[in-house]
Amino acid sequence: MKTQFVALRTPIIAMVVALTITAVLLLLAGADVFAAFGVLLTGALTTPSRIADMLMLLAPLLLCAVGLTMSFAAGQYNLGIEGQITVGGVAAMWFLRGYQDGAPVILYWIGAVLCGMLMGALWALLVALLKRYMRVSEIFAGLGFNFVALGLALYLVFGPWKRPGVASMSGTEPLADALWLPTVTGTRLTLVTPILAIMMLAIVWRLIRHTHWGLQVRACGLSALASVRMGVPATRRTLEAMALCGACAGMAGALQVIGVYHALVPNVASGIGLMGLLVALLVRADIRWVAAVALFFAVITSGSIQLPLTLSIDSSISGVLQGLIVLAIIVARARRGEEAA
Amino acid sequence: MNWTQLLTDIAAIIAVSAPLIIATMGIYLSERAGVINLSVDGSMLLAGMTGFAVAYTTNSVVLGFVAAALVGGLIAALIAYLGVSLRISQTAIGFVLALLCTDLSSFLGNPYVQQTGPAVPAWSIPGLATIPVLGQLLFRHDAVIYLSLVLVPLIAWWMMRTRAGLIVRGLGERPDALFARGIDVIRWRYVMVIIGGVLIGLAGVAYTLDLKQGWTYRHIAGTGWIALAIVIFGAWRPWRILLGCYFFAALQTMASRLQDNTWQIPTQVLQVAPFVVMILVLAVVNSLGAPELQRWINRLPLPVRRMIRFLASPAPAALGQPFIQQ
């Protein structure tokens, strides 16, 4: 009982600190603090269509966070996740452009998602190979490839895949109506997206916690040198974990194209990967907490959209709150001596 | 392209790269001391927003610059406390702070969006500005751009020719050796990271009060990551970093020129170039440092070896490593 309390005390103090700073910021902006927190927490849950929108944010976020939990378990900071989402979207769009009227739509959906996963995995593998064989830090390589992926998407949107007539940031020519994922009546929710996200969560959960493969990946993350001495093929496991993370991100990108934007837009990643990194930093390779934290982040992010409308407060406060929570928890762990660099 | 056009373009490149030079020098100072400040993008946004807000409210450009320097310095002090004293992963805190400060700048900067505020006044240096060619290129700008022109020579001299500079280079390479000689590694790292942060803050406000005047949502997002890439491209050497800044600014100018014509390439595509170059440089430099290749390189004649060593100057050895006092 007592040890449980001690284990919980640090995150609770950290949460209180983060919430207090957020409250002070809201006060500075001249807002009603309690009303603002109320909107943040419940704004996404008031109507069915808002819940649907929240789920459509949660699904790709969960996919990214699940993938990143995998790569964190292997000890890799996959900052290239945004780029992996983007190329996933590009690959899906590439596949769907081959669609002719009357062709079996379901095959095109499956093909597009698989293409997205493959491309995302390759993009992540590129970073992992650069790190392993040319000692390029995965952090800078990942960041660099984010911009390269964005450049690729921009090139396609403004160049070969541009709308006939005028090219614009709003994206390529929309997909044929038949290719849009069906939505639940009256909302923007496509059921397939959250189902796939939960499926990936289950797969990665099983892999990390209940297989020999997962044990080896976690061993590489704790100490690559020690795991090599123990006969673990560390290079292979690290590359596999990164590729799996890229595949999750690529799937998210493909689903954004088929289910949300119905076209390739340059900003297909729209910061979801970065939010996924925050989730992953918070749970630290512990897959059990990923879904809960991702749900919390999705709720306050979607809820914050109501802030400018109801209280005329800028919606960025949700990002501030998320950042503060992650920072406070990291600091709290360090002060307790849990987390050395 | 005619002669006057070329002169105007080069003068524009020198002007446009000023904030980048200031930011990269800040990153350079901090990384040479062994600490990665990954928050640059967010720091620049928050400092730029604060600087603009303060200058807008007080109608004083100078106060705006002071406020921005303070913000940059404070964020850097936080990074130093968390990364150097508490020894938390510098990557993790830098990344979180980059996102946090970006959102903070959007939230706090909301009332100042699209306002017209004061700006740094243009100031031709009397006498020098009338020199043909050189005058137009270098001496018809404003204080921020003059700062960018003197900053690199000053820092390069300080780093390579003074005792303090030697200590800072030691911080990034062999902090334990410095400690053995009685130097307070932790305190020196704090000082260097904070000075670096001040420069990063000034770079942010150099945009909002000078080169991209005003404030909008995520006004200059992305430039911080570009600055981080240019420092790597410049292999942690001041003159090469300067070259990287001008190279990048030239690419941007070229991109907007091409856009005017029928090329239809968006500026963003050419903006990718520095990142590709950064990755290539990192790959080449780091693999040249590998022992297998080193043995092969050692058999080459001396001039070739010198050239390779110049091209492949590696990152500071202790970059990102926490210092644990024995």
Quick one: DSSP state of residue B139?
A: S
pLDDT band at A341 (very low <50, low <70, confident <90, very high): very low
Measured between beta carbons, the chain B residues lying within 8 angstroms of A277 are 95
- Partners of residue B142 on adjacent β-strands: B122
Total domain count, chain A = 1
Higher pLDDT, B130 or A200: A200
A250 within some domain: yes
- At A215, the amino acid letter reads L
Q: Which ranges of chain A would DSSP assign to H, the alpha helix?
A: 2-28, 33-42, 48-73, 81-96, 105-134, 138-158, 192-210, 212-222, 224-229, 234-255, 272-283, 290-304, 306-311, 317-335
CA-to-CA separations, A275 to A99, A141, A269, A323, in angstroms, rounded: 33, 19, 11, 9
A20 within some domain: no
Of B243, B211, B271, B253, residue with least CA distance to B1: B253
Q: How many residues does chain A have?
A: 341
- Closest chain B C-alpha to A326 CA, distance in angstroms: 7
Q: Which of B275, B278, B321 has the highest number of chain A CBs within 10 A, making it the mutation to test binding with A? A: B275
Instruction: Supply A81's token pair.
Output: 């996740």
CA-to-CA separations, A131 to A78, A235, A250, in angstroms, rounded: 11, 10, 20
Q: What is the pLDDT of residues A60-106, one digit of tens each?
A: 999 999 999 999 999 999 999 999 999 999 999 999 998 888 788 99
Question: What pLDDT score does A193 carry?
Answer: 93
Q: Which of A279, A316, A331 has the highest number of chain B CBs within 10 A, making it the mutation to test binding with B? A: A316
CA dist., res. A221 & res. A238, Å (int): 8
Question: What pLDDT score does B279 carry?
Answer: 80
Whether A130 contacts chain B with CB within 8 A: yes
What is the number of alpha carbons within 13 Å of residue B200 lying toward its C-beta?
A: 37
CA dist., res. B198 & res. B210, Å (int): 17
**Whether the Cβ atoms of residue B95 and residue B66 lie closer than 8 Å to each other:** no
Q: How many residues does chain B have?
A: 326
What is the number of alpha carbons within 13 Å of residue A228 lying toward its C-beta?
A: 7
Question: What pLDDT score does B268 carry?
Answer: 63
**Whether the Cβ atoms of residue A160 and residue A167 lie closer than 8 Å to each other:** no
Q: What is the pLDDT of residues B88-103, one digit of tens each?
A: 999 999 999 999 999 9
Of A44, A52, A66, residue with least CA distance to A196: A66
- Closest chain A C-alpha to B303 CA, distance in angstroms: 25
A2 within some domain: no
The secondary structure element, H or E, covering residue B120 is: none
Inspect the interface and report whether the beta carbons of A140 and B289 lie closer than 8 Å: no
Question: What pLDDT score does B322 carry?
Answer: 86
Residues 6+ apart with CB under 8 A from B226: B20, B248, B271, B274, B275
- CB count within 10 Å of CB A308 equals 13
Considering only CA atoms, give the Rg of chain A: 21
Question: What pLDDT score does B266 carry?
Answer: 60
Measured between beta carbons, the chain B residues lying within 8 angstroms of A133 are 287
Inspect the interface and report whether the beta carbons of A140 and B232 lie closer than 8 Å: yes
A12 within some domain: no
A157 within some domain: yes
- Long-range contacts at A10-17 (CB < 8 A, ≥ 24 apart): A10/A329, A10/A332, A10/A333, A10/A335, A10/A336, A11/A329, A11/A332, A13/A332, A14/A325, A14/A328, A14/A329, A14/A331, A14/A332, A15/A325, A15/A328, A15/A329, A17/A324, A17/A328
Instruction: Supply B84's token pair.
Output: 């150097």
Indicate the average pLDDT of chain B: 87
Task: Tell me the whole-structure pTM to 2 decimals.
Answer: 0.91
A99 within some domain: yes
Residue among B102, B107, B265 whose CB faces A25 most closely: B107
pLDDT band at B188 (very low <50, low <70, confident <90, very high): very high
pLDDT band at A339 (very low <50, low <70, confident <90, very high): very low
A155 within some domain: yes
Residue of chain A nearest B275, judged by CA positions: A144
Residue among B266, B287, B289 whose CB faces A154 most closely: B266
Measured between beta carbons, the chain A residues lying within 8 angstroms of B279 are 130, 136, 140-141, 144-145
- Closest chain A C-alpha to B112 CA, distance in angstroms: 12
By the 10 Å C-beta count (0-12 exposed, 13-18 middle, 19+ buried), A277 is classed as buried
Residues 6+ apart with CB under 8 A from A333: A10, A339
Q: What is the pLDDT of residues B289-319, one digit of tens each?
A: 677 777 787 788 888 877 777 766 778 888 8
pLDDT band at A338 (very low <50, low <70, confident <90, very high): low
Inspect the interface and report whether the beta carbons of A319 and B268 lie closer than 8 Å: no
Scanning B46-105 for CB atoms below 8 A from A yields 82-83, 86-93, 95-97, 99-100, 102-104
**Whether the Cβ atoms of residue A62 and residue A299 lie closer than 8 Å to each other:** no
By the 10 Å C-beta count (0-12 exposed, 13-18 middle, 19+ buried), B214 is classed as middle
Q: Which ranges of B112-218 would DSSP assign to H, the alpha helix?
A: 134-138, 143-161, 163-173, 175-180, 185-206
Q: Give the sign of the dihedral formed by CA B282, CA B223, CA B221, CA A147.
A: negative
**Whether the Cβ atoms of residue A307 and residue A315 lie closer than 8 Å to each other:** yes
Residues 6+ apart with CB under 8 A from B296: none
CA dist., res. B135 & res. B127, Å (int): 9
pLDDT band at A6 (very low <50, low <70, confident <90, very high): low
To the nearest whole percent, how much of chain A has pLDDT over 70? Answer: 96
Whether A24 contacts chain B with CB within 8 A: no
To the nearest whole percent, how much of chain A has pLDDT over 90? Answer: 58
- Partners of residue B122 on adjacent β-strands: B142
Residues 6+ apart with CB under 8 A from B323: B34, B84, B175, B176, B179, B185, B186, B189
Inspect the interface and report whether the beta carbons of B87 and A134 lie closer than 8 Å: no
Q: What is the pLDDT of residues A153-195, one digit of tens each?
A: 988 888 788 887 776 777 888 888 888 888 888 888 888 999 9
- Closest chain B C-alpha to A203 CA, distance in angstroms: 27
**Whether the Cβ atoms of residue A283 and residue A64 lie closer than 8 Å to each other:** no
Question: What pLDDT score does A340 carry?
Answer: 44
Residue with tokens 């090219």: A167
Whether A109 contacts chain B with CB within 8 A: no
Residue of chain B nearest A72, judged by CA positions: B92
Mean pLDDT computed over B182-211: 95
Question: How many CB pairs below 8 Å do chains A and B form together?
Answer: 139
Mean pLDDT computed over B212-233: 87
Instruction: Supply A160's token pair.
Output: 């070969």
**Whether the Cβ atoms of residue A250 and residue A268 lie closer than 8 Å to each other:** no
**Whether the Cβ atoms of residue B43 and residue B101 lie closer than 8 Å to each other:** yes
Residue of chain B nearest A274, judged by CA positions: B99
A334 within some domain: no
Inspect the interface and report whether the beta carbons of B287 and A274 lie closer than 8 Å: no
Of A265, A336, A334, A324, residue with least CA distance to A86: A265
Name the phi and psi angles at B252, rounded to 5.
Answer: -65, -45
B3-311: CATH topology is ABC transporter involved in vitamin B12 uptake, BtuC (1.10.3470)
Residue among A134, A266, A330 whose CB faces B287 most closely: A134
Whether B113 contacts chain A with CB within 8 A: no
| pLDDT score of A3 more than 80 | no
Inspect the interface and report whether the beta carbons of B279 and A140 lie closer than 8 Å: yes
CA dist., res. B31 & res. B42, Å (int): 17
CA dist., res. A197 & res. A55, Å (int): 11
- CB count within 10 Å of CB B134 equals 11
pLDDT band at B131 (very low <50, low <70, confident <90, very high): confident
| pLDDT score of B141 more than 80 | yes
Inspect the interface and report whether the beta carbons of B266 and A158 lie closer than 8 Å: yes
CA dist., res. B207 & res. A296, Å (int): 36
Residue with tokens 């614009």: A168
Name the phi and psi angles at A191, rounded to 5.
Answer: -60, -35
Indicate the average pLDDT of chain A: 89
Inspect the interface and report whether the beta carbons of B287 and A334 lie closer than 8 Å: no
Higher pLDDT, A251 or A166: A251
Whether A274 contacts chain B with CB within 8 A: yes
Of A27, A29, A305, A40, residue with least CA distance to B112: A29
Q: What is the pLDDT of residues A100-142, one digit of tens each?
A: 887 889 999 999 999 999 999 999 999 999 988 887 888 888 9
Domain enclosing residue A69, as ranges: 59-299
Of B169, B172, B100, B165, residue with least CA distance to B320: B172
Inspect the interface and report whether the beta carbons of A320 and B269 lie closer than 8 Å: no
**Whether the Cβ atoms of residue B42 and residue B224 lie closer than 8 Å to each other:** yes
- CB count within 10 Å of CB A212 equals 8
| pLDDT score of B1 more than 70 | no
**Whether the Cβ atoms of residue A60 and residue A256 lie closer than 8 Å to each other:** yes
Inspect the interface and report whether the beta carbons of B93 and A134 lie closer than 8 Å: no
Quick one: DSSP state of residue A94?
A: H
- Closest chain A C-alpha to B319 CA, distance in angstroms: 12
Q: Which of A72, A132, A135, A282 has the highest number of chain B CBs within 10 A, making it the mutation to test binding with B? A: A135
Whether B110 contacts chain A with CB within 8 A: yes
Mean pLDDT computed over B180-197: 95
Residue among B97, B272, B283 whose CB faces A148 most closely: B272
Of B120, B94, B124, residue with least CA distance to B22: B120
Inspect the interface and report whether the beta carbons of B264 and A158 lie closer than 8 Å: yes
Residue with tokens 């005017």: B260
Question: What pLDDT score does A321 carry?
Answer: 95
Scanning B269-298 for CB atoms below 8 A from A yields 269, 271-272, 275-276, 278-279, 282-283, 286-287, 289-290
Residues 6+ apart with CB under 8 A from A18: A321, A324, A325, A327, A328
Question: What pLDDT score does B259 carry?
Answer: 60
Mean pLDDT computed over B261-266: 56
| pLDDT score of B55 more than 80 | yes
Mean pLDDT computed over B46-61: 95
Instruction: Supply B297's token pair.
Output: 């390189």
Residue among B88, B95, B96 whose CB faces A334 most closely: B88
Question: What pLDDT score does A102 carry?
Answer: 79
| pLDDT score of A216 more than 90 | yes
Question: What pLDDT score does A1 carry?
Answer: 46
